[in-house]
A and B are shown apart, each in its own frame.
Chain A
Amino acid sequence: MKAIVLIFASMLFLQTAVANDAAPLADDPVTEQRLITISEEMRCLVCQNESLAGSRSDLANDLRREIRTLIKEGKSDEQIRTFMVERYGDFVLYRPPVKPITWLLWIGPFVILGIGIAFLLSYLRRRNTLVSSKILSEEDNQKIDALLNTLGKNQRDGMNG
Protein backbone atom coordinates (compact mmCIF):
# COMPACT_ATOMS: atom_id res chain seq x y z
CA MET A 1 0.00 0.00 0.00
CA LYS A 2 2.77 2.36 0.98
CA ALA A 3 4.51 1.65 -2.31
CA ILE A 4 1.42 2.55 -4.31
CA VAL A 5 1.02 5.84 -2.46
CA LEU A 6 4.66 6.57 -3.12
CA ILE A 7 4.25 5.88 -6.83
CA PHE A 8 1.23 8.17 -7.06
CA ALA A 9 3.02 10.89 -5.15
CA SER A 10 6.01 10.69 -7.47
CA MET A 11 3.67 10.82 -10.47
CA LEU A 12 2.24 14.07 -9.10
CA PHE A 13 5.73 15.51 -8.92
CA LEU A 14 6.44 14.29 -12.43
CA GLN A 15 3.46 16.22 -13.71
CA THR A 16 4.47 19.49 -12.11
CA ALA A 17 7.94 19.02 -13.53
CA VAL A 18 6.54 18.66 -17.04
CA ALA A 19 4.25 21.63 -16.54
CA ASN A 20 7.20 23.78 -15.56
CA ASP A 21 9.09 22.69 -18.64
CA ALA A 22 6.24 23.58 -20.95
CA ALA A 23 6.03 27.21 -19.91
CA PRO A 24 9.49 28.71 -20.23
CA LEU A 25 8.20 32.03 -21.57
CA ALA A 26 6.35 32.97 -18.44
CA ASP A 27 8.20 36.11 -17.55
CA ASP A 28 4.69 37.45 -17.17
CA PRO A 29 2.22 34.59 -16.62
CA VAL A 30 -0.87 36.76 -17.22
CA THR A 31 0.38 37.87 -20.65
CA GLU A 32 1.32 34.32 -21.57
CA GLN A 33 -2.10 33.03 -20.54
CA ARG A 34 -3.84 35.63 -22.68
CA LEU A 35 -1.45 34.93 -25.56
CA ILE A 36 -2.34 31.23 -25.40
CA THR A 37 -6.09 31.89 -25.20
CA ILE A 38 -5.97 34.20 -28.21
CA SER A 39 -3.58 32.23 -30.37
CA GLU A 40 -5.31 28.88 -29.80
CA GLU A 41 -8.25 30.33 -31.73
CA MET A 42 -6.04 31.25 -34.67
CA ARG A 43 -4.67 29.29 -37.58
CA CYS A 44 -1.00 29.23 -38.40
CA LEU A 45 -0.79 30.20 -42.07
CA VAL A 46 2.33 28.17 -42.75
CA CYS A 47 1.07 24.87 -41.34
CA GLN A 48 -2.63 25.31 -41.75
CA ASN A 49 -3.71 22.46 -39.53
CA GLU A 50 -1.91 23.86 -36.52
CA SER A 51 -3.04 26.64 -34.26
CA LEU A 52 -0.88 29.69 -33.83
CA ALA A 53 -0.34 28.61 -30.23
CA GLY A 54 0.97 25.18 -31.18
CA SER A 55 3.01 25.89 -34.29
CA ARG A 56 6.80 26.01 -34.31
CA SER A 57 7.06 27.75 -37.65
CA ASP A 58 9.08 30.95 -37.85
CA LEU A 59 6.08 33.03 -38.80
CA ALA A 60 4.07 31.69 -35.84
CA ASN A 61 6.94 32.67 -33.55
CA ASP A 62 6.97 36.19 -34.99
CA LEU A 63 3.21 36.50 -34.72
CA ARG A 64 3.22 35.34 -31.11
CA ARG A 65 5.88 37.96 -30.41
CA GLU A 66 3.69 40.52 -32.12
CA ILE A 67 0.62 39.53 -30.09
CA ARG A 68 2.69 39.64 -26.91
CA THR A 69 3.71 43.22 -27.76
CA LEU A 70 0.09 44.16 -28.42
CA ILE A 71 -1.00 42.68 -25.10
CA LYS A 72 1.70 44.66 -23.30
CA GLU A 73 0.50 47.79 -25.08
CA GLY A 74 -2.85 47.16 -23.40
CA LYS A 75 -4.82 46.17 -26.50
CA SER A 76 -8.06 44.25 -25.99
CA ASP A 77 -8.56 40.71 -27.34
CA GLU A 78 -10.92 42.12 -29.94
CA GLN A 79 -8.34 44.66 -31.11
CA ILE A 80 -5.74 41.90 -31.44
CA ARG A 81 -8.13 39.76 -33.47
CA THR A 82 -8.79 42.74 -35.75
CA PHE A 83 -5.03 43.27 -36.12
CA MET A 84 -4.65 39.69 -37.37
CA VAL A 85 -7.72 39.71 -39.61
CA GLU A 86 -6.64 42.97 -41.26
CA ARG A 87 -3.43 41.27 -42.33
CA TYR A 88 -4.33 37.67 -42.99
CA GLY A 89 -8.11 37.72 -43.51
CA ASP A 90 -10.90 35.78 -41.80
CA PHE A 91 -9.03 32.60 -42.72
CA VAL A 92 -6.77 33.15 -39.72
CA LEU A 93 -9.71 32.65 -37.35
CA TYR A 94 -10.84 29.13 -36.55
CA ARG A 95 -14.31 30.55 -35.87
CA PRO A 96 -15.15 32.71 -38.86
CA PRO A 97 -17.52 35.63 -38.22
CA VAL A 98 -21.15 35.42 -39.36
CA LYS A 99 -21.52 37.63 -42.46
CA PRO A 100 -23.07 37.22 -45.94
CA ILE A 101 -20.05 35.41 -47.38
CA THR A 102 -20.01 32.85 -44.53
CA TRP A 103 -23.78 32.33 -44.28
CA LEU A 104 -23.60 29.14 -46.31
CA LEU A 105 -20.88 27.87 -43.98
CA TRP A 106 -22.85 28.58 -40.81
CA ILE A 107 -26.40 27.81 -41.96
CA GLY A 108 -25.70 25.22 -44.70
CA PRO A 109 -25.55 22.16 -42.40
CA PHE A 110 -28.86 23.10 -40.75
CA VAL A 111 -30.49 23.60 -44.15
CA ILE A 112 -29.32 20.13 -45.22
CA LEU A 113 -30.58 18.70 -41.90
CA GLY A 114 -33.97 20.39 -42.50
CA ILE A 115 -34.21 18.93 -46.01
CA GLY A 116 -33.36 15.50 -44.59
CA ILE A 117 -36.04 15.75 -41.89
CA ALA A 118 -38.62 16.89 -44.46
CA PHE A 119 -37.80 13.90 -46.67
CA LEU A 120 -37.97 11.51 -43.71
CA LEU A 121 -41.36 12.87 -42.56
CA SER A 122 -42.91 12.69 -46.03
CA TYR A 123 -41.58 9.16 -46.45
CA LEU A 124 -42.94 8.03 -43.08
CA ARG A 125 -46.32 9.58 -43.82
CA ARG A 126 -46.48 7.81 -47.17
CA ARG A 127 -45.57 4.49 -45.59
CA ASN A 128 -48.15 4.88 -42.81
CA THR A 129 -50.97 5.52 -45.27
CA LEU A 130 -49.87 2.48 -47.28
CA VAL A 131 -49.99 0.21 -44.23
CA SER A 132 -53.24 1.46 -42.68
CA SER A 133 -55.13 1.60 -45.97
CA LYS A 134 -55.32 -2.19 -46.07
CA ILE A 135 -58.36 -3.32 -44.07
CA LEU A 136 -58.42 -6.99 -43.11
CA SER A 137 -61.45 -9.07 -44.00
CA GLU A 138 -63.13 -11.53 -41.63
CA GLU A 139 -61.53 -14.39 -43.52
CA ASP A 140 -58.05 -12.91 -43.06
CA ASN A 141 -58.65 -12.57 -39.34
CA GLN A 142 -59.63 -16.22 -39.04
CA LYS A 143 -56.48 -17.26 -40.92
CA ILE A 144 -54.36 -15.19 -38.58
CA ASP A 145 -56.04 -16.69 -35.52
CA ALA A 146 -55.45 -20.18 -36.85
CA LEU A 147 -51.78 -19.43 -37.50
CA LEU A 148 -51.28 -17.91 -34.07
CA ASN A 149 -52.97 -20.90 -32.42
CA THR A 150 -50.76 -23.45 -34.14
CA LEU A 151 -47.73 -21.35 -33.35
CA GLY A 152 -48.68 -21.17 -29.66
CA LYS A 153 -49.28 -24.91 -29.53
CA ASN A 154 -45.95 -25.65 -31.19
CA GLN A 155 -44.16 -23.48 -28.69
CA ARG A 156 -45.81 -25.21 -25.73
CA ASP A 157 -44.93 -28.59 -27.26
CA GLY A 158 -41.41 -27.50 -27.74
CA MET A 159 -41.09 -26.47 -24.08
CA ASN A 160 -42.56 -29.73 -22.82
CA GLY A 161 -40.53 -31.91 -25.09
Chain B
Amino acid sequence: MKAKFLIPLILFVILVGFLAIGLSRDPHEVPSPLINKAAPTFEIPQLAQASQTFSPASMKGQVWILNVWASWCVACREEHPVLVDLAKSGQAPLIGLDYKDKREDALVMLERQGNPYVLSAFDADGRVGIDYGVYGVPETYVIDQTGIIRFKHIGPLTQQILNQKIYPLLTELKKS
Protein backbone atom coordinates (compact mmCIF):
# COMPACT_ATOMS: atom_id res chain seq x y z
CA MET B 1 0.00 0.00 0.00
CA LYS B 2 1.63 3.18 -1.24
CA ALA B 3 -0.62 5.71 0.42
CA LYS B 4 -0.02 4.34 3.92
CA PHE B 5 2.04 7.37 4.90
CA LEU B 6 -1.05 9.53 4.28
CA ILE B 7 -3.04 7.92 7.13
CA PRO B 8 -1.65 10.19 9.92
CA LEU B 9 -2.27 13.22 7.72
CA ILE B 10 -5.89 12.18 7.12
CA LEU B 11 -6.43 11.53 10.84
CA PHE B 12 -4.92 14.94 11.59
CA VAL B 13 -7.24 16.66 9.11
CA ILE B 14 -10.27 14.91 10.68
CA LEU B 15 -9.14 16.03 14.15
CA VAL B 16 -8.66 19.61 12.97
CA GLY B 17 -12.13 19.46 11.42
CA PHE B 18 -13.69 18.46 14.73
CA LEU B 19 -11.75 21.14 16.62
CA ALA B 20 -12.79 23.81 14.10
CA ILE B 21 -16.46 22.89 14.53
CA GLY B 22 -16.00 22.88 18.30
CA LEU B 23 -14.44 26.34 18.25
CA SER B 24 -17.14 27.90 16.10
CA ARG B 25 -19.96 26.80 18.40
CA ASP B 26 -21.05 28.74 21.45
CA PRO B 27 -20.98 26.52 24.54
CA HIS B 28 -23.30 28.96 26.28
CA GLU B 29 -26.14 28.11 23.95
CA VAL B 30 -27.66 25.14 25.67
CA PRO B 31 -30.58 23.64 23.75
CA SER B 32 -33.75 24.29 25.72
CA PRO B 33 -35.89 21.30 26.66
CA LEU B 34 -38.91 23.63 26.56
CA ILE B 35 -39.06 23.84 22.76
CA ASN B 36 -42.36 22.35 21.53
CA LYS B 37 -43.63 22.14 25.11
CA ALA B 38 -46.35 24.22 26.69
CA ALA B 39 -45.11 27.55 28.02
CA PRO B 40 -45.11 27.40 31.83
CA THR B 41 -48.02 29.26 33.36
CA PHE B 42 -47.62 32.06 35.86
CA GLU B 43 -49.50 35.04 37.15
CA ILE B 44 -47.42 37.93 38.40
CA PRO B 45 -47.86 41.71 38.69
CA GLN B 46 -47.20 43.95 35.72
CA LEU B 47 -44.28 46.37 35.68
CA ALA B 48 -46.11 49.60 34.99
CA GLN B 49 -49.31 48.80 36.87
CA ALA B 50 -48.41 46.81 39.94
CA SER B 51 -52.05 46.32 40.81
CA GLN B 52 -52.70 44.32 37.63
CA THR B 53 -51.34 40.90 36.84
CA PHE B 54 -50.25 39.20 33.65
CA SER B 55 -50.69 35.54 32.77
CA PRO B 56 -49.71 33.78 29.50
CA ALA B 57 -53.22 32.33 29.44
CA SER B 58 -54.48 35.76 28.33
CA MET B 59 -52.43 35.45 25.13
CA LYS B 60 -54.14 32.24 23.99
CA GLY B 61 -55.22 32.36 20.35
CA GLN B 62 -52.39 34.55 19.09
CA VAL B 63 -48.74 34.10 18.27
CA TRP B 64 -46.69 36.22 20.64
CA ILE B 65 -43.13 36.90 21.72
CA LEU B 66 -41.84 36.85 25.28
CA ASN B 67 -38.63 38.76 25.87
CA VAL B 68 -36.77 38.41 29.17
CA TRP B 69 -34.92 41.59 30.02
CA ALA B 70 -33.63 43.71 32.90
CA SER B 71 -32.34 47.23 33.36
CA TRP B 72 -29.06 45.91 34.86
CA CYS B 73 -28.36 43.81 31.76
CA VAL B 74 -25.98 45.46 29.32
CA ALA B 75 -26.77 43.12 26.44
CA CYS B 76 -30.45 44.09 26.79
CA ARG B 77 -29.62 47.72 26.04
CA GLU B 78 -27.74 46.58 22.97
CA GLU B 79 -30.77 44.57 21.92
CA HIS B 80 -33.30 47.29 22.66
CA PRO B 81 -33.38 49.05 19.23
CA VAL B 82 -33.99 45.68 17.56
CA LEU B 83 -36.96 45.11 19.86
CA VAL B 84 -38.31 48.55 18.97
CA ASP B 85 -38.11 47.55 15.30
CA LEU B 86 -39.83 44.27 16.06
CA ALA B 87 -42.65 46.08 17.83
CA LYS B 88 -42.99 48.53 14.92
CA SER B 89 -43.29 45.68 12.43
CA GLY B 90 -46.54 44.73 14.13
CA GLN B 91 -45.96 41.06 13.35
CA ALA B 92 -46.68 39.84 16.86
CA PRO B 93 -47.32 41.34 20.28
CA LEU B 94 -44.14 41.61 22.34
CA ILE B 95 -44.46 40.92 26.05
CA GLY B 96 -41.57 41.67 28.40
CA LEU B 97 -40.52 39.75 31.46
CA ASP B 98 -38.56 42.09 33.68
CA TYR B 99 -36.23 39.67 35.43
CA LYS B 100 -34.90 40.32 38.95
CA ASP B 101 -35.03 44.05 38.57
CA LYS B 102 -35.92 47.16 40.54
CA ARG B 103 -39.20 48.61 39.41
CA GLU B 104 -38.01 52.24 39.23
CA ASP B 105 -34.80 51.32 37.32
CA ALA B 106 -36.77 49.34 34.77
CA LEU B 107 -39.29 52.14 34.24
CA VAL B 108 -36.50 54.69 33.79
CA MET B 109 -34.86 52.51 31.17
CA LEU B 110 -38.09 52.15 29.20
CA GLU B 111 -38.67 55.89 29.38
CA ARG B 112 -35.18 56.67 28.07
CA GLN B 113 -34.89 54.01 25.37
CA GLY B 114 -38.51 53.64 24.31
CA ASN B 115 -40.96 50.94 25.28
CA PRO B 116 -41.36 48.20 22.67
CA TYR B 117 -43.51 46.04 24.95
CA VAL B 118 -47.29 45.78 25.01
CA LEU B 119 -46.64 45.27 28.70
CA SER B 120 -43.97 43.82 30.94
CA ALA B 121 -44.50 41.31 33.71
CA PHE B 122 -42.44 41.97 36.81
CA ASP B 123 -40.52 38.90 37.98
CA ALA B 124 -38.96 40.30 41.14
CA ASP B 125 -37.43 37.11 42.56
CA GLY B 126 -36.70 35.34 39.28
CA ARG B 127 -39.11 32.52 40.06
CA VAL B 128 -40.79 32.70 36.63
CA GLY B 129 -37.37 32.89 35.01
CA ILE B 130 -36.46 29.55 36.57
CA ASP B 131 -39.62 27.95 35.16
CA TYR B 132 -38.63 29.20 31.71
CA GLY B 133 -35.06 27.95 32.10
CA VAL B 134 -33.60 31.45 31.91
CA TYR B 135 -29.88 31.50 32.63
CA GLY B 136 -28.59 34.46 30.66
CA VAL B 137 -30.65 37.57 30.06
CA PRO B 138 -31.74 38.56 27.42
CA GLU B 139 -33.68 35.55 26.19
CA THR B 140 -36.54 35.52 23.70
CA TYR B 141 -39.34 32.99 23.21
CA VAL B 142 -41.83 32.66 20.37
CA ILE B 143 -45.08 31.14 21.62
CA ASP B 144 -47.86 29.95 19.32
CA GLN B 145 -51.68 30.20 19.45
CA THR B 146 -52.03 27.12 21.65
CA GLY B 147 -49.42 28.32 24.15
CA ILE B 148 -46.56 26.13 22.94
CA ILE B 149 -42.99 27.46 22.84
CA ARG B 150 -41.76 27.21 19.24
CA PHE B 151 -38.44 29.00 19.39
CA LYS B 152 -35.97 30.28 21.93
CA HIS B 153 -33.07 32.62 21.41
CA ILE B 154 -30.40 33.14 24.06
CA GLY B 155 -28.51 36.41 24.01
CA PRO B 156 -29.31 39.71 22.31
CA LEU B 157 -31.50 39.62 19.22
CA THR B 158 -30.09 41.10 16.03
CA GLN B 159 -31.77 42.34 12.88
CA GLN B 160 -30.32 39.30 11.14
CA ILE B 161 -31.99 36.86 13.55
CA LEU B 162 -35.28 38.72 13.14
CA ASN B 163 -35.13 38.49 9.35
CA GLN B 164 -33.77 34.98 9.07
CA LYS B 165 -35.52 33.18 11.88
CA ILE B 166 -38.24 35.05 13.71
CA TYR B 167 -40.20 36.74 10.90
CA PRO B 168 -40.37 33.56 8.74
CA LEU B 169 -41.41 31.55 11.81
CA LEU B 170 -44.14 34.05 12.71
CA THR B 171 -45.53 33.93 9.17
CA GLU B 172 -45.52 30.16 9.24
CA LEU B 173 -47.15 29.93 12.67
CA LYS B 174 -49.86 32.41 11.76
CA LYS B 175 -50.87 30.27 8.79
CA SER B 176 -51.78 27.27 10.93
Residues of A within 8 A of B (CB): 45-46, 48, 58-59, 62-63, 66, 85-91
Contacts and interface: CB of A to CB of B under 8 A. Distances in A.
**Smallest CB-CB A-B distances: 10 pairs:** A45-B135, A87-B133, A89-B33, A91-B30, A62-B126, A88-B133, A59-B135, A66-B130, A89-B30, A46-B135
Interface in B111-136: 125-127, 129-133, 135-136
Given A45-B30, A46-B136, A87 B100 contact: no
Given A66-B127, A86-B33, 6 more contacts: A46-B136, A59-B135, A66-B130, A86-B34, A87-B34, A89-B133
Contacts of B127: 66
Contacts of B8: none
Interface string B22-36: 000001101111100
Contacts, number: 39
Interface residues of B, number: 18
Contacts of B130: 62-63, 66, 87
Contacts of B135: 45-46, 59, 88
A97 to B, nearest CB: 12
15 contacts: A45-B30, A45-B135, A45-B136, A46-B135, A46-B136, A58-B100, A58-B126, A62-B125, A66-B127, A87-B133, A89-B31, A89-B33, A90-B33, A91-B30, A91-B31
Contacts of A63: 130
A46 B126 CA distance: 15
B26 to A, nearest CB: 11
A87 B33 contact: yes
Contacts of B31: 89, 91
Nearest to B134: A59
A45 B27 CA distance: 10
A96 B111 CA distance: 45
Contacts of A87: 33-34, 130-133
Contact of A88 (B28, B33, B100, B126): B33
Interface in B43-100: 100
A88 B129 CA distance: 11
Nearest to B136: A46
Given A62-B126, A63-B130, A66-B130, A89 B136 contact: no
Contacts of B126: 58-59, 62
B136 A88 contact: no
A146 B175 CA distance: 96
Contacts of B132: 87
Q: Considering residues B33, B34, B125, B135, which has the most beta carbons from chain A within 10 angstroms of its beta carbon?
A: B135
Contacts of B133: 87-89
Nearest to A58: B100
A66 B32 CA distance: 19
B25 to A, nearest CB: 13
A88 to B, nearest CB: 5
Contact of B32 (A46, A48, A59, A89): A89
